[in-house]
Chains A and B, each alone.
Chain A
Amino acid sequence: MFAFMANPARFMAFSSWAAPLLLAAALALFAAGLPWALFYSPADYQQGETVRIMYIHVPAAWWSMGVYAFMGGASFVSLVWRHALADVAARAAAPVGTVFAGVCLVTGSLWGAPTWGTWWEWDGRMTSMLVLFVTYLGYLALWAAIEDEEKAARLAAILCLAGLINLPIVKFSVDWWSTLHQPASLLRSGGSAIDPAMLGPLLTMAGAYLALFGALTLMNMRAAIFRRRVEAAALREARA
């Protein structure tokens, strides 16, 4: 897979049908998941209607970490094997992850106001999510600050790998500092603690986020490759 994708021409051929396909999948899953989650799923016996925010919040939280893990993997591949497209992939995924993390923070705050009675609480989960968000911003800022693109790619890859340390902290902070935020209810020993009527829309939304991430990343990568080609053509033109 890695070797196959290292050829930009092959990647462009693959992504030319994969990106629209993923985008269509994302739109279909959102079209199914949003009404299901917002109108046709049961209200929680304790949280009432506010539980519907969770269908936006939880997938955003999952995939903001998932995207960062993907960027970490891509950065590793880019540093170790000098893979031609891995750094493009990491850079293309970063804005998506940033927005997911931002959505997670905002929706969590909106949910916390009626449920916990506070817009923000400095507990471990929220603090480390904010740290993840700032890490994303630092990654993007570093990339923007260095003009030489190849150098920027590899320095950003080093930064991305260092930031991976934060991911396990986000994941386990709830168990370490047992505070306001509830612990994991899906992936836990003893099976899922979520009612099937809520699990369905939740997993649909998670799938929609994942497909959207794939589509946007592929489209971002295609844009970056097109830009490189245009720059190379302009250089050739200038030399001739």
Chain B
Amino acid sequence: MRALGAAFQRDLALMWSGGGALAPIGFFLGATMLVPLAMGPERTLLASAGPPLVWIAAALAVLATLERLFQADLEDGSLDQMLISRAPLELLVLAKGAALWCAIGLPLALAAGPAAIALQAPLERVPVIIVSLALGTAAFVGAGLAGAAVTAGVKRGGVLIALIVLPFFAPPIIFGAAVAGGKDVTAALMILGGCALAAAALGPIAAAAALRLQAE
């Protein structure tokens, strides 16, 4: 348990000192900014298309953080330390995912509030968009852990990670867009929570299996 806490703190500290959520949020807001430039500033059009596009921008922002997630650990030997630790690798990876979600996912969900308002989402729907994105980024991180671990040994694997991980982003996006669109919100939120739990449970297992191979 202490090892997990230490791993969580270490990763969180590393992510914060590396700029934290600054770059992903900047990317997220920049991508959101392009939406009205591309679609034109018409209110009704933005109100229907804006919130789903916030979801896409958030998915891409999470994607952009994945490439270096395990590569640094692989290069500097931290991964070997994780492997010989008595704590199970799966849980250490889960701690890393939790740190990534705290450093990137949660700030992204909060930043989605102002972004959605700027894209003309109705004010009363903003809290539910934030909650749904907090769940959705957790699902993205879970799937992203596996994708990042599988490609950790590949130099310049950014596009490859995207290709591998994007299909797994489909289910949370489907139900996240349903929440953002205001249709059947409770059911969609519950399924979204299910996606997040499944990704948090299965992602670390697949990632740990891949990391054991990477370290050989």
Contact = CB atoms under 8 A, between A and B. Distances in A.
Nearest to A148: B153
B184 to A, nearest CB: 12
B167 A155 contact: no
A138 B151 CA distance: 11
B206 A131 contact: no
B154 A151 contact: no
Contacts, number: 54
Contacts of A169: 171
Interface residues of B, number: 21
Given A142-B151, A145-B151, A162 B168 contact: yes
B160 interface: yes
Interface residues of A, number: 24
B213 interface: yes
A159 B150 contact: yes
Contact of B206 (A137, A151, A158): A158
B210 interface: yes
B87 to A, nearest CB: 21
Describe A's contact surface by its main secondary structure: helix
B150 A142 contact: yes
B14 interface: no
26 contacts: A127-B170, A128-B170, A131-B167, A131-B170, A132-B167, A134-B166, A134-B167, A137-B163, A138-B163, A138-B167, A141-B163, A141-B164, A142-B164, A145-B151, A145-B154, A146-B153, A158-B206, A158-B209, A158-B210, A159-B146, A159-B150, A159-B164, A162-B146, A163-B167, A165-B168, A169-B171
Interface of B: 146, 150-151, 153-154, 157, 160, 163-164, 166-168, 170-171, 202, 206, 209-210, 213-214, 216
